[in-house]
Structure 1
């Protein structure tokens, strides 16, 4: 089996159909946007997705593995004044979890942030129970800055979110 090609490409209108399945799988959305906990009808998902496509303050790119759409990632809260943004990633297709896709996408987004977008700082928040995510972000060079205590309610329990960031000066060109 050859090496997988992991690519970021603009989202298309057709990508929305994948979200119909993904956003109705509790395991897939457990540590994702709180909004995803409420989006379950195709109409709700269509409305949300049209907003994603229109949003000019967020860079949203589809994640493709060997041309198969498996999720999306990007940078929200882009600030040209502060030269900063917030990284996010969502891999909806569980067949691609723990396969290095998130690590490679994170590397590509960091490069976009610091090279193309000329940002100084890229931050993110990650749920404490999402240990795979925490480990992957540290591996990518993100450093812990602090905690948002009891910031998320999932499965009837509150948990903390960790604030992490990486600065341009800490980034090493790959």
Structure 2
């Protein structure tokens, strides 16, 4: 159903529409609210592709090879064996189908097994119910609440810091059947 693989230069095109869709970027990077021209998006994308210290993989529908988003781990610390998980699914037609959970499980597997990380954390906006469900299903636990740390829809809301440890992840039974190339 889903394949994770390295993004290429030609994969930028869906990002032009996604980043200019308020529903898609609602709980995403604050940066996405500041960039909207093709040039700004291309500059951001080029920087994303140049960063060799992060894990960044495109999320593709296996049947059509269509890019529907991207996910990975940034801020990887070799010293602390930790990093920060992120996911962005721009294709609204696939929202609510469990893809976020499956991708999260596969990225955790890559982070813990291939990169030998011990802790993977994330931040999530509290109103992002779909994201919260996917992260909790994947074993993330809430560590902290950042009060009124995010401003969306003309109001402040809390962000949650969540994490999962390798020892917790090892105890879980995952359902990920995602192809990783």
- TM-score surpassing 0.5? yes
Residue in 1 that maps onto 2:138: 140
Residue in 2 that maps onto 1:156: 154
1:43 to 39, 43, 62: 39
Greater relative contact order (CA < 8 Å, ≥ 6 in sequence):
2
Residue in 1 that maps onto 2:178: none
Residue in 2 that maps onto 1:73: 71
Following TM superposition, the consecutive aligned residue runs of length 4 or more in structure 1 with deviations greater than 3 angstroms are none
Residue in 2 that maps onto 1:21: 17
Kindly state the Cα deviation for residue 157 of structure 1 after the two structures are TM-superposed: 1.0
The Cα offsets for residues 110-156 of structure 1, whole Å up to 9 and x where unpaired, read as 10011001000000000000011111111110000001111111121
Total equivalences in the alignment: 170
CA distance in 2, matches of 1:47, 1:114: 30
Structure 2 counterparts to residues 6-155 of structure 1, below 5 A: 6-66=2-62, 67-155=65-153
C-alpha root-mean-square deviation of aligned residues, in Å?
0.9
CA distance in 2, matches of 1:14, 1:149: 39
The more displaced of 150-159 and 46-55 is 150-159
TM-score (norm 2): 0.92
Kindly state the Cα deviation for residue 68 of structure 1 after the two structures are TM-superposed: 1.3
CA distance in 1, matches of 2:85, 2:134: 13
Unaligned runs of at least 5 residues, structure 2:
175-181
Kindly state the Cα deviation for residue 57 of structure 1 after the two structures are TM-superposed: 2.3
Unaligned runs of at least 5 residues, structure 1:
none
CA distance in 2, matches of 1:135, 1:104: 12
Residue pair 2:82, 2:118 contacting (<8 A) in 1 also = yes
Residue pair 2:16, 2:36 contacting (<8 A) in 1 also = yes
